Amino acid sequence: MSRVRKTVRVIAWAFGAVFGFAVIAYVVLFIANLEDRPPSMEITALEAMQGLASPVVTEGNSYLYMLGFSGHPDVDPMTLGRERYDWMEAARPEFRTEDDPLEDDYDYRLKRADDIANLSKTCSESEAECLNLLESGNGVVERWLRAEKWLFDRYIVLTSMTEFREAIPFELLAPLPSYSVMFEGQRLMFADAWRSASAGDAGAVSKALERDLVYWRMVLENSDALITKMIGTAAIIRHFKLGNLVLRRLPDDSKSAGIPPSWRTEITDAERSMGRSLAGEWTYFDVSTKKVVADNENPFGGWTGINDSTTLDRATWTVLKPFWQHQELSNRHARLMLDLGNAFDVPYDEVPAAVEVADQLQESAYRPFSRLYNFTGDLVMSANYWTFSDYAVRVSDLEGIRRAALLVAELRSDGVSKDDVVQLTLVSEIVDPYTNEPFTWNDGSDVIVFYGLEPHDRSQHELIY
């Protein structure tokens, strides 16, 4: 019996010691987290960056036109876009979809013939197969342009506009423009340019390609959100690859005249800079972290409270909430965004090294259990790690794609045979922006290849000769 009592006393003492240590640790953490930080200079810098932009509500702002782009063919996109923007301003942060003036995107695909649907789908996935369909001569291009003239006209109006200014601050539930519908409009534009090239109209081809690229380069430069930066990047990649097919279609004596001026202009530092879109990312982050406190949300149960949390999640948040310093998190995130943006504001040959710098910045930004202050914030942020470098190099790869497309277009306009492409590529002044080495020629598929920095299968870009 005495042995049992001794064992019980040992267990009780051990439990009491652990409990006492936990209480002391909690008190120490509590004292260390009594006050949040004031807004930092980095936040001031990011806010100043956003404040330099033009007003959102102007008749020439194509962002408003984008908001109404997917409406019914009988609706004016700018009018609908203004209505949606006014609703968004009044509806935040909930954005009840049933109150959205757009209601639903107009489903133009319901009336599409199978061959038109196949052409559109193919030309978004494979340039080689797209070329085969375009050259089939079965009249599908003409029928597509007739059937969806309203979408083509709408896209031409959009890409003729000269302003782009997004609405900030961004919030998780805020609706986005229907970019997929715009991309359908872009493919229609290329179908029309293909028709012009088939007729030998190099002037119409050059004008169409110039308008499209100038517009999306403007969007790229003025993007205040990372997703918009990626949309602009995707549109430009598609532009060069499908534009290459269009230029290839021109008669030999007019191939040079079809090359638009913007193809010869290097992607500018302002266009590829990530600064503005990262300032937008900080804005979204700031709104989200403050919402956690204001709405008593549990970041462990879905980060932004969009998912229902379990009882254990709620109990965990009750214990850890006193160690959540949202302003200090916002300050550090602002500094991280500035540092990441600066890391990639370097010449092209330094971008590969910038990737390593950026990855190290992110890995060291939020390390759990490394300090007492903002203990919970570090835990949450370390669990929400994301790789920024992939986005940055996707944008910087645009210059390599542009150069490869221009090289193909110029060699073709000079009448260079496939047998001579390798030799002339080796001596061309148009080279890989990262390595300053000649581009690669693939004999098997007759393509010039640019190997970008984006990881996985996205790194290889082929331009058909």
26-40 pLDDT, tens digit each: 888 889 899 999 999
Listed as own residue / partner, the contacts of 305-311 with beta carbons closer than 8 Å and 24 or more positions apart are 306/172, 306/173
pLDDT for position 364: 87
Q: Phi and psi dihedrals of 351, rounded to 5?
A: -65, -40
pLDDT for position 49: 84
- Chain centroid to CA 298: how far? 28
* pLDDT surpassing 90 at residue 256: yes
Which of 244-248, 307-311, 432-436 is predicted with the least confidence, judged by mean pLDDT? 307-311
Task: Count the residues in the chain.
Answer: 465
Residue found under tokens 């049992």 = 4
* pLDDT surpassing 80 at residue 311: no
* pLDDT surpassing 60 at residue 258: yes
Which of 208-222, 312-326, 450-464 is predicted with the least confidence, judged by mean pLDDT? 312-326
* pLDDT surpassing 50 at residue 306: no
Three-state DSSP state, 275? helix
Q: Angle at which helices 389-413 and 418-427 pack, to 10 degrees?
A: 120
Q: What is the pLDDT of residues 137-146, one digit of tens each?
A: 889 999 999 9
Q: What is the pLDDT of residues 33-69, one digit of tens each?
A: 999 999 999 999 998 888 766 788 888 999 999 999 9
* pLDDT surpassing 70 at residue 307: no
* pLDDT surpassing 50 at residue 116: yes
Tell me the average pLDDT across 242-248. Answer: 97
- Chain centroid to CA 60: how far? 23
pLDDT for position 2: 66
Q: In one letter, which amino acid is 130? A: C
Percent of the chain with pLDDT over 90: 66
DSSP one-letter code for 167: -
Of 245, 231, 122, give the one whose Cα is nearest residue 195: 245
Cβ-in-10-Å burial (0-12, 13-18, 19+) of 189 comes to buried
pLDDT for position 305: 43
Q: Cα separation of 302 and 332, whole Å?
A: 22
Domain ranges of the chain: 54-164+176-265
Tell me the average pLDDT across 196-211. Answer: 98
Of 216, 197, 217, give the one whose Cα is nearest residue 205: 197
Q: Between 14 and 354, name the one with better pLDDT.
A: 354
pLDDT category at 366 given cuts 50, 70, 90 is: confident
Q: What is the pLDDT of residues 278-300, one digit of tens each?
A: 999 999 888 888 877 777 766 76
Percent of the chain with pLDDT over 70: 91
* pLDDT surpassing 60 at residue 301: no
pLDDT for position 385: 66
pLDDT category at 318 given cuts 50, 70, 90 is: confident
Percent helix, strand and coil across the chain, each rounded to 5? 65, 5, 30
* pLDDT surpassing 50 at residue 376: yes
Angle at 76 between CA 71 and CA 79, to 5 degrees: 100
**Preceding amide of 433 cis, omega within 30:** no
pTM value is: 0.90
Of 163, 41, 178, 204, give the one whose Cα is nearest residue 106: 178
Q: What is the pLDDT of residues 81-92, one digit of tens each?
A: 999 999 999 988
* pLDDT surpassing 50 at residue 208: yes
Average pLDDT, the chain: 90
pLDDT for position 386: 73
Q: In one letter, which amino acid is 369? A: F
pLDDT category at 237 given cuts 50, 70, 90 is: very high
